[in-house]
Structure 1
């Protein structure tokens, strides 16, 4: 009978030790889960603020791009190759001639749109012209 009691006692002690070890592991897992939950909450708040900031900056960028294009004019129908090596100068001269201006308008730049050269029989690419002064654009 004593033997059975001792054997049962040892078995219970082994089970108790395993149970204690599992309790420690569970405590560590709970602590880790809490830490991760806290970190996820912080990251979600950070993502929310960054999303708001990106939306703001995206809207701001779109507004600035629109304002940047405000002084642009698109000129259609000028044959390919007429502009030569200095398109800004040749387009300024063309505008002076066509509009009967006393002097050439001040242009920041003039270039063809960014698409491939047209084939024979296709219409020429339009020019995009940036006028330096706003009041000049209104006369064009």
Structure 2
């Protein structure tokens, strides 16, 4: 393909084209060259025409681009201003919201702080109160233990005093009601001599007080009330007990009667707890004694053994007597 780069080339090209107009025969030797030159010339002519038109088109295009650029700048500027206003408004709103939230949070935090301080104060008060209460409870427990010991000691002393006040007393059980005929102090000496033997009493018995046990008078078919007598001399009281024990069964006016030491109900229960083991010891022929208030002494093979509880006495009986 040829290119028209110089005036000489243009002259040659024109000559060839002129000769080519008369030779449109494809069999012509220059037909192909002329055809290519014709195409190239047409293309160059179009390019030159475009170059001639380019300056005005380019100028218009630049103006339009500048106009568009200015419009775009204005739009961007307007949008930036709007955006700045929106951001400023949003910032102000955000600041206001944050300020409001801060104030609310500050108020709530102040309340929480006050509540926490109050709770701390209450906990301290409760701790102090609890500590004081623990100390007071410990002191009360200590005092209660002391009071319990003292109370027990006082109860034991009171029981001992009461039983000592009865050490000269005897209780007569089974004597028919109205046998004394209204005068107990006159009746009892005669009654005792009759059931224990007149020969055993050389001197008269001195009785300070005597009466039936407290309570309503029973019917004639019911069990009579017991008689409690306080002897002036302890020797008389002990002599009567020894004689009653040696004689065994005692009968008055056709009815069996019994003579017991006068003791408090508590001591009576303690002594009654040994009744079963005493019966077993009697059946086994073992000598024993029950001392005041409730202490069982057993003699086995010449050795004395003492027991404060019926369980201990029963265990000894099973191992050494049975």
Name the count of aligned residue pairs.
140
Q: Residues 48 and 94 from structure 1, CA distance in 2 versus in 1: closer, same or farther, beyond 3 angstroms? A: same
Aligned position for 2:231: 131
Deviation, structure 1 residue 87: 1.3
- The correspondence of residues 89-128 of structure 1 with structure 2, limited to 5 A, is 89-95=186-192, 99-100=198-199, 101-122=201-222, 124-128=224-228
Task: Give the gaps of 5 or more residues in structure 2.
Answer: 1-94, 241-322
Give RMSD over aligned pairs: 2.5
Quote the Cα distance in structure 1 between the aligned partners of 2:154 and 2:198.
40
Most deviating of 22-31 and 99-108? 99-108
Deviation, structure 1 residue 80: 1.9
Aligned position for 2:146: 49
> Partner of 2:166: helix, strand, or coil?
helix
Deviation, structure 1 residue 93: 4.5
Q: Residues 118 and 99 from structure 1, CA distance in 2 versus in 1: closer, same or farther, beyond 3 angstroms? A: farther
> Partner of 1:110: helix, strand, or coil?
strand
Residues 79 and 124 in structure 1, CA contact (< 8 A), matched pair in contact too: yes
Most deviating of 14-23 and 85-94? 85-94
Task: Give the gaps of 5 or more residues in structure 1.
Answer: none
Equivalent position to 1:37, from 130, 134, 156: 134
Matched, 1:21 2:118: yes
Q: Could you state the TM-score of these two structures normalised by the residue count of structure 1? A: 0.80
Q: Deviations over 1:51-78 (max 9, x none)?
A: 1111111122222222222222233454
Quote the Cα distance in structure 2 between the aligned partners of 1:139 and 1:47.
46
Most deviating of 32-41 and 124-133? 124-133
Deviation, structure 1 residue 107: 0.8
Q: Could you state the TM-score of these two structures normalised by the residue count of structure 2? A: 0.39
Deviation, structure 1 residue 125: 3.0
Larger RCO: Structure 1 or Structure 2 (Cα < 8 Å, ≥ 6 residues apart)?
1
> Partner of 1:70: helix, strand, or coil?
coil
Deviation, structure 1 residue 102: 5.0
Quote the Cα distance in structure 2 between the aligned partners of 1:51 and 1:77.
41
Most deviating of 119-128 and 16-25? 119-128
Aligned position for 2:165: 68
Quote the Cα distance in structure 1 between the aligned partners of 2:146 and 2:189.
48
Q: Residues 20 and 124 from structure 1, CA distance in 2 versus in 1: closer, same or farther, beyond 3 angstroms? A: closer
Aligned position for 2:300: none
Aligned position for 2:181: 84
Quote the Cα distance in structure 1 between the aligned partners of 2:237 and 2:191.
15
